[in-house]
């Protein structure tokens, strides 16, 4: 009898161990080891591409050959449309709209005459039909397959020869070659390997939907993100109607590009002017609100940062942030304390980025500082002023990139004054009517604003 090989595999990072462990030595997570049967090695002829080496000049490129989706922002996020043979992974919280978005994408593609296949392992045909009705997807070119068996999926892809494939979701796909349960690391790895390979070999682009863990990363092995060409994340909380699709990895375009959508009764609709949307509910003349022109990917977007700084009434001061990095806020509060002499140590600080946007670039530092100080001093910031700049540990204001683009967006939205780092403003070519205020330190910023 053949001996079955088993191993304990960390469900977080894929680390293998011959025995069960409480803590994974590789990623440090607790209680992640699950016993799984190891896969027999497949014959190499089956998995290889079997192509001879060729000079790079003689390889055809598909740059012109991208498939346009027709949702302008979605094309933008992908770097200019779908690349043939690519695999795109889309992650996001449950109920955020992954299935809806991809069904819409498939609907648009089908309308242009492409044969597309939507594979679902989560919903029944009826449920997909119901969703399709809401978003108006009824094209005869849109095929639906309800299936979780990897072998059957590959068979139908081979038979139908679609031009784009969606797999909703990769965690539900099950290969009978392995005995471990669907959703386990080995199954996810096997299913994605085979699907990605099929894409590469046949040139059919595939979209894989992935669940996320409670930490916000795509469930399953981290290698999944390495294997695919593009990783998109769906952001935004279900309390808001706004949804942001962000590219965090893209082999065929810039990363951190975003597309903004609004969830409506008939599916997701594109928001063509995100700045207007994020600023639409801005209070006028209220202390604690600052507007920053933030660069998301390659395009500038204006967002409002709100702060509430109030004296701690009980115990340890709280620092709560939504949309900006918690540690960054603590750091900036420390700078204000040490360099400018404002003692925030006995104050609670709450910071929120309006509209559910997540800001990651350091250029928003000045916005955080301004809104915190505005709330602390109870003095509103002039409503036609935007601020941008990175703050260093000694209170100096550091340069940011793409200043012209930021200023242009601010001017477009009716702002007439921009506070920016002194270092960069000497060689600026700004045509817009905009008063530029140069500052070198946080102290200068506060002197100017308040």
Residue with the shortest CB distance to Mg ion: 99
Q: Which residues contact 267 (CB under 8 A, 6 or more apart)?
A: 100, 103, 104, 134, 135, 136
Q: How far apart are CA 435 and CA 277, in angstroms?
A: 24
- Please report, as residue ranges, which positions from 364 to 423 form the binding site for ligand TYD (by CB under 6 A): none
Within 10 angstroms of residue 224's Cβ, the number of other Cβ atoms is 25
3-state SS, residue 343: coil
Q: How far apart are CA 322 and CA 306, in angstroms?
A: 10
Nearest to 74 by CA among 270, 274, 290: 270
Which residue lies nearer to ligand TYD by CB, 266 or 378?
A: 266
For residue 92, state whether it binds ligand TYD (rule: CB under 6 A): yes
Residue from 135, 204, 387, 411 binding ligand TYD (CB under 6 A): 135
Helix, strand, coil abundance in the chain, percent, nearest 5:
30, 30, 40
Residue from 15, 66, 76, 98 binding ligand TYD (CB under 6 A): 98
Q: Which stretch binds ligand TYD (CB under 6 A): 30-38, 130-138, 147-155, 423-431?
A: 130-138
Within 10 angstroms of residue 331's Cβ, the number of other Cβ atoms is 15
Number of residues near Mg ion (by CB under 5 A): 1
For residue 133, state whether it binds ligand TYD (rule: CB under 6 A): no
Residue from 129, 134, 155, 379 binding ligand TYD (CB under 6 A): 134
For residue 192, state whether it binds Mg ion (rule: CB under 5 A): no
Which residue lies nearer to Mg ion by CB, 76 or 107?
A: 107
Residue 270 binds which of Mg ion, ligand TYD, none (CB < 5-8 A, kind-dependent): none
Q: Chain-centre distance of CA 159, in angstroms? A: 34
Contact call for residues 131 and 176 (beta carbons, < 8 A): no
Quote the least distance from Cβ 294 to Mg ion, whole Å. 30
Helix spans in 341-382 (H)? 365-377
Q: Which residues contact 154 (CB under 8 A, 6 or more apart)?
A: 194, 195, 198
Helix spans in 54-174 (H)? 72-77, 98-111, 125-135, 150-160
Which residue lies nearer to ligand TYD by CB, 125 or 283?
A: 125
Which residue lies nearer to ligand TYD by CB, 103 or 407?
A: 103
Which residue lies nearer to Mg ion by CB, 170 or 333?
A: 170
Quote the least distance from Cβ 88 to ligand TYD, whole Å. 15
Instruction: State both tokens at 152.
Output: 């059957």
Q: Which stretch binds Mg ion (CB under 5 A): 95-103, 299-307, 410-418, 420-428?
A: 95-103
Which residue lies nearer to ligand TYD by CB, 104 or 230?
A: 104
Q: Which stretch binds ligand TYD (CB under 6 A): 62-70, 88-96, 143-151, 309-317?
A: 88-96
Helix (H) / strand (E) containing 121: none
Residue from 57, 265, 285, 315 binding ligand TYD (CB under 6 A): 265
Contact call for residues 285 and 373 (beta carbons, < 8 A): no
Q: Which stretch binds Mg ion (CB under 5 A): 96-104, 173-181, 334-342, 438-446?
A: 96-104
Quote the least distance from Cβ 122 to Mg ion, whole Å. 6
Residue from 99, 104, 321, 374 binding Mg ion (CB under 5 A): 99
Show the CA angle centred on residue 58, arms to residues 53 and 63, nearest 5°.
115
Which residue lies nearer to ligand TYD by CB, 10 or 170?
A: 170
Residue from 151, 266, 378, 435 binding ligand TYD (CB under 6 A): 266
Q: How far apart are CA 193 and CA 227, in angstroms?
A: 8
Instruction: State both tokens at 127.
Output: 């449920």
Nearest to 304 by CA among 319, 323, 320: 323
For residue 100, state whether it binds ligand TYD (rule: CB under 6 A): yes
For residue 239, state whether it binds ligand TYD (rule: CB under 6 A): no
| Cis, peptide link before residue 306, omega less than 30° from 0 | no
Residue from 39, 84, 115, 131 binding ligand TYD (CB under 6 A): 131
Q: From the CA atom positions of the chain, what is the Rg in Å?
A: 25
Quote the least distance from Cβ 246 to ligand TYD, whole Å. 15
Which residue lies nearer to ligand TYD by CB, 57 or 95?
A: 95
Residue ranges binding Mg ion (CB under 5 A): 99
Residue ranges binding ligand TYD (CB under 6 A): 92, 94-100, 131, 134-135, 263, 265-267
């Amino acid at each position: 009898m053949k001996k079955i090989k088993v191993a304990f595999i960390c469900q977080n990072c894929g680390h293998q161990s011959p025995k069960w462990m409480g803590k994974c030595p590789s990623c440090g997570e607790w209680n992640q080891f699950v016993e799984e049967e190891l896969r027999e090695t497949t014959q190499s002829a089956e998995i290889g591409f079997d192509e001879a080496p060729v000079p790079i000049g003689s390889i055809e490129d598909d740059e012109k050959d991208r498939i346009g989706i027709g949702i302008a922002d979605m094309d933008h996020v992908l770097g200019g449309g779908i690349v043939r043979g690519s695999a795109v992974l889309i992650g996001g919280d449950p109920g955020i709209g992954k299935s809806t978005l991809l069904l819409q994408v498939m609907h648009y593609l089908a309308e242009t005459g492409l044969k597309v296949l939507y594979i679902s392992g989560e919903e029944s045909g009826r449920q997909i039909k119901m969703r399709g009705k809401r978003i108006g997807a009824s094209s005869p070119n849109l095929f639906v397959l309800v299936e979780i068996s990897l072998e059957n999926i590959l068979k139908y892809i081979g038979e139908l020869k679609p031009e784009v494939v969606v797999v909703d979701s990769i965690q539900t796909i099950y290969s009978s070659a392995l005995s471990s349960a669907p959703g386990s690391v080995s199954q996810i790895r096997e299913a994605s390997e085979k699907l990605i390979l099929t894409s590469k070999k046949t040139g059919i682009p595939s979209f894989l939907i992935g669940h996320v863990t409670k930490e916000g990363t795509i469930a399953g092995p981290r290698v999944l993100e390495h294997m695919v060409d593009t990783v998109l994340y769906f952001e935004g909380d279900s309390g808001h109607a706004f949804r942001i699709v962000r590219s965090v990895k893209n082999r065929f375009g810039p990363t951190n590009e975003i597309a903004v959508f609004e969830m409506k009764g008939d599916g997701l609709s594109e928001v063509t002017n995100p700045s207007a949307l994020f600023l639409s509910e801005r209070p006028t003349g209220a202390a604690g609100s600052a507007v920053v022109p933030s660069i998301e990917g390659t395009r500038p977007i204006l967002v409002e940062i709100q702060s509430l700084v109030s004296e701690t009434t009980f115990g340890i001061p709280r620092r709560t942030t939504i949309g900006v990095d918690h540690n960054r806020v603590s750091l900036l509060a420390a700078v204000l304390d040490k360099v400018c002499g404002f003692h925030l140590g006995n104050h609670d600080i709450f910071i929120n980025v309006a509209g559910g946007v997540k800001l990651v670039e350091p250029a928003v530092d000045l916005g955080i500082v301004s809104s915190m100080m505005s709330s602390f001093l109870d003095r509103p910031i002039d409503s036609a002023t935007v601020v941008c700049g990175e703050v260093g540990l000694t209170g100096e204001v550091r340069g940011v990139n793409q200043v012209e683009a930021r200023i242009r967006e601010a001017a477009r939205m009716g702002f007439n004054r921009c506070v920016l780092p002194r270092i960069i403003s000497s060689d600026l070519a700004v045509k817009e009517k905009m008063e530029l205020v140069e500052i070198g330190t946080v102290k200068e910023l506060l002197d100017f604003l308040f």
